[in-house]
Structure 1
Amino acid sequence: MSPGSHAVALPDGGDGPQRPNYFLLGFVGALGVLTAWLLVQALVGARAVLVYILVALFLAVGLNPVIEGLRSRARMPRWGAILTVCLTMVLFLVVFFWTIVPPLTEQVTSFATNLPDTLNDLQNTPFFADLERRYDLLDKFEGLVTAPDFGQQLFGGLVGVGQVVFNSLFATFTVLILTLFFMASLPGILDVSYRLVPRSSRDGVRRIGDEIVRRIGAFIAGQLVVAALGGVVAFLFLWAIGSAYALTLALVVGVTALIPLVGTTIGALVASLAVALGSPLLGLVTLVFFLIYQQIESYVIAPRVMRHAVDVTPTVNITAALVGGALMGLVGALLAIPTAAALTLILKQVVFPRLERR
């Protein structure tokens, strides 16, 4: 060692490298894992609320073009346009339930009233007599009804149905209230979101964001056009064949048509089964009619409307709806197509131009 050099002592007093504190590393790692697990559990617990917020925000963004149209054409203030849209939504829900509940109650009451006569008629048929001889259906049914826990099971089933109805009404009311608040504060939400972006990129982000909002609104408008057209066609056909519940079934067909991919099929099956209860032949004719119309809607009407609305190819629409439905169910299927439209817009206006400049 030269006279001018100085030896530096290590913190542990030795000359080798300092050993890491494995206990501290393990403790910090375990704390991070615990924090992540608690965050995941919190998100899972609040999943329903997050879905309500997401659906309400989607509806608010989608209905914003309608509000802006009322402001520009009818010269309404924003609060007046929002109130008009909300009253229209509430009126539609009232009319929908008003047309659904009385026929459903009538059918259930008629079924319960005619059940003894129906069972007596079934007992006199050779087919039912053969089943009774082989499987003792009446004895098994009597044993099920006279079982000690039958009342408890029946009450539990009724409570479960009532809970489902209550949860559905609560979810609908919550989404409507959240949609109202989001529609009222949407310009402020968008402005704050744009201000989070650096000033140099703010104009471009604002342009893309406004286009995404416009496309979501166009998607909802296109979906409503397709659903309304399906409901009108269903009403005209059901009225032509003399169905007593033409308006009710047409509203069911129109509402279910809002569900991507499978909505029209669900509405067609419900309408066909309802018609078949009165006349099996007319029920079969109804099913054939809706199958033909579904092909026209799927390959002619919907692709043109949706391509004009969101500018996304049908292949991407179908793929997005399937993936969204697999991840989040019905809500995911509804949100998947506008999400795909937004991602397509970002790819075309941001990602691809940057790749071309390299």
Structure 2
Amino acid sequence: MKTEDGLERIKAIGIAAWTWVGVIILLSMLLFVLYSINTVLMPFLYALVFVYILRPVVNYLDDKGLPRVFALILSYLGIILILTLFGTYIGPILYKESNGLINKIPEYVTTTNGYITDLVKQHPFLKGDQTAEFLTGLANSFKSFLQKAALSVPEMTASLFGGMINFVLAPIIAFYILKDLDVIRTTVREMIPEKHRVEGMQIVKKIDQIVGGFLKGQALVALTVAILSGIALYALGVDYAILLGFIIGVFNIIPYLGPIVGGAPAVIIALGTSWQLALIVVVVLLTVQQIDSILISPRIMSSQVNLHPAVVIFALLAGGTLLGFVGMLIAIPIAAVGKALYLHFRERSNGSGPEEPDVQELESAAKV
């Protein structure tokens, strides 16, 4: 009996080991394919964003009896109206503030260095000490960072939009995906072997819920933080408040370091006015982050949808290292897919998965 148990244990270890080998090989092949076609991925990534944004609206209008094509047209007209309003009222402000901020970077760097120099002069015990070297090094690092960031803005903008072709293709691809969503859903279901169809559609549903929920949730959290930060900075009289609020909202997506990196420019710019204003800005931004952590994020991001901050940071770093800017864009959705698979197989191993197929539920898997 002990011999049989030992053989079974060795067999289980062997199966687990070869499973991991297979997963690593598949991931390597996937990364190679993604690297080979990374330029082709951009319009589909943008189309995915369109799909997740518009799908709830299209499904709602469809359920109300409006033909799906007309529901799509109305949804697109709404997006065009929002973009037009943004381009008319917010776009020029962001453009003007961006140019002004880039031109004033040397002035802010000089002001920061002046504060550090005065700090060292007022406190003689800092002279020759490692603290003085640290402050000087920090100032130089910040200066280098701002210069590189300013120089990389055009390159990042070009990478983000990938030329007009991607900007035009993405909504067209999204339109046909949304129009034929039922057909796509049925096709995916029929492609799965019948004996694995129930489990396969459960996995598809969970992936859809987590990826869509995470992307929409993070976008809503970022928008909320951007608006709160922009209003607070504007009320305090900080220059470029709208642009700074936008930057803080974008960087808020990155856990831990994001709020620090996003809030640093606001503090530096406030420092150009007075150290008292800079201190107030620090307190206000910390307050906004606490409101986000305690009130906003928990209400928007459920435990099933949310990803651990360490996973998000690792995914961004790994994606950026392997595939550059495109890798950073696809890293979080891939991590969300990984979480969906983990949750599914954990539930199955615990015996909590449904035993009988619920056809109606499976056919509406994508209607989240």
1:106 aligned residue (100, 105, 112): 100
1:263 aligned residue (258, 266, 278): 258
| TM-score, L = length of structure 2 | 0.59
Higher relative contact order (CA 8 A, sep 6+): 2
Counterpart residue number, 1:272:
267
Identity of matched residues, %: 21
Task: Report if the CA contact (8 A) 2:316-2:331 is conserved.
Answer: yes
Query: Kindly tell me: are residues 348 and 52 of structure 1, through their superposed partners in 2, closer, same or farther at Cα, counting changes over 3 Å?
Result: farther
Distance 2:118 2:272 in 1: 22
- Structure 1 position 185, deviation (Å): 1.5
2:160 aligned residue (165, 168, 181): 168
CA-to-aligned-CA distance 1:154-189 (integer Å, 9 cap, x gap)? xxxx99865554333326862663254135324133
Query: Kindly tell me: are residues 160 and 106 of structure 1, through their superposed partners in 2, closer, same or farther at Cα, counting changes over 3 Å?
Result: closer
Q: What residue identity is the alignment partner of 2:160?
A: S
Matches within 5 A, 1:105-254: 105-108=99-102, 162-170=154-162, 174=166, 177-186=169-178, 187=181, 188-254=183-249
Query: Kindly tell me: are residues 99 and 347 of structure 1, through their superposed partners in 2, closer, same or farther at Cα, counting changes over 3 Å?
Result: farther
Counterpart residue number, 2:20:
none
- Structure 1 position 291, deviation (Å): 2.4
Distance 1:99 1:248 in 2: 8
- 1:64 pairs with 2:55: yes
Task: Report if the CA contact (8 A) 1:261-1:321 is conserved.
Answer: no
| TM-score, L = length of structure 1 | 0.61
The residue matched to 2:192 in structure 1 has which SS? coil
CA-to-aligned-CA distance 1:168-211 (integer Å, 9 cap, x gap)? 33268626632541353241333322220123443553354234
The residue matched to 2:351 in structure 1 has which SS? helix
Query: Kindly tell me: are residues 263 and 78 of structure 1, through their superposed partners in 2, closer, same or farther at Cα, counting changes over 3 Å?
Result: farther
CA-to-aligned-CA distance 1:55-110 (integer Å, 9 cap, x gap)? 54355246422432354469473422441464267447635542221123234556
Distance 2:224 2:188 in 1: 37
Distance 2:266 2:338 in 1: 32
1:80 aligned residue (60, 73, 78): 73
CA-to-aligned-CA distance 1:285-330 (integer Å, 9 cap, x gap)? 21232124324423553244312xx615x6x522431331232133
- Structure 1 position 51, deviation (Å): 5.5
- Structure 1 position 242, deviation (Å): 2.3
Kindly tell me the number of residue pairs found equivalent between the two proteins.
Answer: 281
- 1:328 pairs with 2:322: no
Q: What residue identity is the alignment partner of 2:317?
A: A
Distance 1:159 1:292 in 2: 32
1:338 aligned residue (336, 339, 352): 336
Distance 1:321 1:111 in 2: 30
Q: What residue identity is the alignment partner of 2:58?
A: I
Matches within 5 A, 1:23-102: 44-50=35-41, 53-54=44-45, 56-57=47-48, 60-61=51-52, 63-72=54-63, 75=66, 77-84=70-77, 86-87=79-80, 90-91=83-84, 94=87, 97-102=91-96
Q: Which runs of 4+ in 1 moved over 6 A?
A: 37-42, 158-161, 354-357
Distance 2:173 2:253 in 1: 23
- Structure 1 position 258, deviation (Å): 3.7
2:293 aligned residue (298, 318, 333): 298
